[in-house]
Structure 1
Amino acid sequence: MRKLNLGQELSKSEQKKILGGGATCTTSWGGTATTYSPYVNCSNAAGYCAGVYGGTVVSCW
């Protein structure tokens, strides 16, 4: 197992392993936003994206 240094940037796959879920959403201001969270996953990403960003789901995990 690899030790992580504080301040080390993690790859997306490493973030997914640690945090467990997330989503990429469109935003009401025309961009996209990616969230890594144990509380956001494919079953609730649509509501999260609409409520937080005023947008829709691009991808989830």
Structure 2
Amino acid sequence: MAVPKRKTSKARRDKRRANWKLTVPGLIACPQCHEPKMPHRVCPDCGHYNGKQVVKAE
């Protein structure tokens, strides 16, 4: 069984735990209503996707 030869320092140990940050989602303007929306998704404001009305707008 493998056993460490030396103690792992706090700096080396804590480097592995530093990847918790999230990234901001990329938003684009809807071509119909020009509201920000996530790419490749139906616009929540107007209900258009790929130039067609797919969801009835409220």
TM-score range, shorter chain: under 0.3
Larger Rg: 2
Higher relative contact order (CA 8 A, sep 6+): 1
Normalised to the residue count of structure 2, the TM-score between the two structures is 0.22
Normalised to the residue count of structure 1, the TM-score between the two structures is 0.22
Relative to its length, the structure with more helix (as a share) is 1
